[in-house]
């Protein structure tokens, strides 16, 4: 934690002027009436898009997100770069794919590598993060570049604390930060594991979910669930399908309640009109589809994430353009007119925010996790083993949104063409990969007992 000495604001003043100029000249879009002075990036771990009202969830489940969305650009087709917490957040922060950052090894990025969050700090923003523990513990390296990086909620582990207001900790920490530094330019990152397994919502939100009939969002169940049975006090057999969906929906309602309090806090502190807000998640969750519960795979309900961006002065809207989490940091950098520390792999979504379709429907997107990768283009999605390219599945998402019909045999050439795009991407980014050198494995193995306990309870390790 640095002192309260104000940071130089020269870059920011320049950024604000440039932003005003850029926006006033773009596509007839109105110039923002108030400049961007603050940024809040919110990652709700494991949050499925379709459990939010702007993405079709029943009215009353997430009223605060619905109200927030009315002032944002809602991205309908956003995916994560990894359906696992650490690599996904690393891609979000660094705007590179998993094969570049290799965070899935558990090793932190090389200390020599400039962190994009640190570059924002150097540009004059006070940088702060309030996060859940687990894979966001500082030992995994996501704290790089933050003036303040605090774990404020590790109590979502186990099922013995259902009625504790766990998100109250996050709100209190945020309130404290804003009261001390709310007048400074800041980049604030907020994260919670609340809808992650084990689902343990406060009881009031279970009643809310039942009252509005939001117990069964998602596809019809067509197979028994794989039971999740960590050794952290979660009763075996508690995670049958109906219960899982009801509990998960109640977790989302709880998160919405927190977000309502956060947005009210910003209003009270007169921060709403000059704060850029991004609301997203690191991956989705299967809740019974194909008999699955949890994440780490590439099915749509796990790969798709909500992405809502509120830019002061820009009109609200929707975009169905194919976008992805690595686009967030380039978008922030462009809006703030800060030069990236190295070439980002994502795309600036600024034109889409202003209603100009910059990325076409044929954009190729990639995701990667646990030795497998997915390539998406148009209606096609191929999932293949990184060490065995002839081991793949191919789906046509337009004809088969439930991903039940593997076309690997019928359309093998199409699959091979998509897999070559991944190989091409890797080959074209050798220089960038050299910026993220592979570290030894010893750090990943030297977990302290508290970290082990948390990771086990969240299902990351045995
Ligand atoms: Zn996660």
* Ligand 1 centroid to residue 137 C-alpha, Å: 13
> Which strands make up the sheet holding 388-396, listed edge to edge?
365-369, 372-377, 380-385, 388-396
Instruction: Determine which of 19-23, 42-46, 390-394 has the lowest per-residue pLDDT on average.
Output: 19-23
Query: What spacing in Å lies between the alpha carbon of 200 and ligand 1's midpoint?
Result: 16
> How close is the Cα of 283 to the center of ligand 1, in Å?
6
**DSSP letter assigned to residue 393:** E
No. of H helices and E strands in the chain?
Answer: 15, 14
d(CA 286, ligand 1 centre) in Å = 13
The residue that leads in pLDDT, 223 or 394, is: 394
Task: Tell me the pLDDT band of 22, cut-offs 50, 70 and 90.
Answer: very low
Residue 84 to residue 135: CA distance in whole angstroms: 9
Locate 420 and state its tokens: 């070559």
190 CA from centroid of ligand 1 (Å): 13
Q: Of 206-220, 328-342, 386-400, which range is least confident?
A: 206-220
44 CA → ligand 1 middle, Å? 8
Environment class of residue 439 by beta-carbon count within 10 Å: exposed (0-12), middle (13-18) or buried (19+)?
middle
Residue 25 has pLDDT above 50, yes or no: no
| Ligand 1 midpoint to CA 191 (Å) | 10
Q: What is the pLDDT of residues 57-81, one digit of tens each?
A: 999 999 999 999 999 999 999 999 9
Worst-scoring range by mean pLDDT, 92-106, 353-367, 406-420, 436-450? 436-450
Compute the distance from residue 80 Cα to the ligand 1 centre, in Å. Answer: 10
CA distance 382 to 366: 10
Q: Can you tell me the mean pLDDT for 102-106? A: 79
Ligand 1 center from residue 86 Cα (angstroms): 7
CB under 8 Å to 341, separation ≥6 — which residues?
114, 115, 116, 118, 119
Q: Of the candidates 176, 160, 158, 180, which has an alpha carbon nearest to the alpha carbon of residue 168?
A: 176
Banded pLDDT at 438 (limits 50, 70, 90):
low
85 CA from centroid of ligand 1 (Å): 3
Structure-token pair, residue 330: 């380039």
pLDDT, tens only, 260-296: 999 999 999 999 999 999 999 999 998 878 777 888 8
Rounded CA separation 18/26 (Å): 12
Q: Which among 76, 98, 106 is positioned nearest to 366, based on CA atoms? A: 98
Q: Find where tokens 């997203």 sit.
A: 280
CB atoms within 10 A of CB 205: 20
Q: Are 31 and 328 in contact (CB under 8 A)?
A: no
Secondary structure of residue 59 in the 3-state scheme: coil
Q: Who's near 410: CB < 8 A, 6+ residues apart?
A: none
Domains located in the chain, CATH noted: 36-363 (3.40.720.10)
Strand partners, 131: 151
CA of 135 to the centre of ligand 1 (A): 8
Encode pLDDT of 120-144 as tens digits.
999 999 999 999 988 898 888 899 9
Distance between CA atoms of 305 and 285, rounded to whole angstroms? 10
Residue 269 alpha carbon to ligand 1 centre in Å = 30
């Amino acid at each position: 934690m640095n002192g309260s000495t104000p940071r130089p604001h020269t870059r920011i003043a320049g950024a604000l002027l440039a932003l005003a100029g850029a926006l006033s000249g773009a596509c007839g879009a109105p110039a923002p009436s108030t400049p961007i002075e603050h940024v809040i990036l919110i990652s709700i771990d494991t949050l499925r898009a379709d459990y939010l009202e702007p993405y079709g969830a029943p009215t009353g489940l997430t009223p605060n997100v619905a109200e927030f969305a009315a002032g944002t650009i809602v991205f309908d087709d956003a995916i994560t770069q990894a359906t696992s917490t650490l690599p996904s957040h690393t891609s979000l922060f660094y705007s590179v794919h998993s094969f570049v950052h290799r965070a899935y090894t558990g090793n932190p990025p090389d200390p020599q590598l400039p962190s994009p969050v640190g570059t924002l700090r150097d540009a004059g923003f006070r940088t702060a993060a309030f996060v859940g523990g687990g894979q966001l513990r500082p030992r995994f390296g996501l704290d790089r570049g933050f003036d303040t990086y605090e774990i404020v909620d590790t109590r979502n582990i186990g099922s013995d604390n259902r009625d504790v207001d766990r998100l109250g900790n996050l709100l209190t920490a945020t309130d404290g930060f804003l009261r001390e530094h709310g007048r400074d330019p800041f980049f604030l990152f907020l994260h919670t594991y609340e809808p992650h397994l084990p689902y343990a919502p406060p009881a009031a939100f279970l009643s809310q979910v039942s009252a509005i009939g939001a117990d069964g969002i998602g596809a019809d169940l067509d197979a028994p669930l794989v039971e999740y049975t960590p050794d952290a006090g979660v009763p075996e057999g508690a995670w049958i399908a109906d219960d899982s969906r009801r509990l998960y929906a109640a977790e989302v309602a709880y998160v919405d309640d927190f977000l309502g309090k956060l947005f009210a806090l910003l209003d009270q502190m007169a921060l709403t009109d000059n704060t850029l807000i991004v609301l997203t998640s690191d991956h989705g969750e299967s809740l019974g589809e194909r008999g699955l519960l949890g994440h780490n795979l590439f099915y749509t309900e796990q790969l798709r994430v909500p992405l809502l961006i509120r830019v002061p002065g820009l009109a609200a809207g929707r975009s169905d353009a194919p976008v992805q989490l690595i686009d967030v940091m380039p978008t922030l950098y462009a809006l703030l007119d800060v030069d990236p520390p190295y070439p980002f792999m994502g795309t600036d979504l600024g034109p889409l925010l202003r209603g100009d379709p910059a990325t076409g429907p044929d954009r190729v997107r990639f995701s990667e996790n646990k030795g497998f990768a997915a390539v998406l283009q148009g209606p096609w999605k191929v999932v293949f083993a990184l060490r065995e390219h002839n081991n793949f599945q191919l789906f046509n998402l337009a004809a088969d949104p439930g991903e039940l019909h593997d076309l690997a045999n019928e359309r093998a050439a199409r699959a091979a063409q998509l897999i070559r795009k991944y190989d091409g991407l890797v080959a074209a980014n050798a220089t960038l990969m050299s910026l993220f050198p592979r570290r030894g494995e010893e750090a990943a193995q030297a977990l302290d007992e508290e970290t082990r306990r948390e990771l086990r309870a969240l299902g990351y390790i045995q």
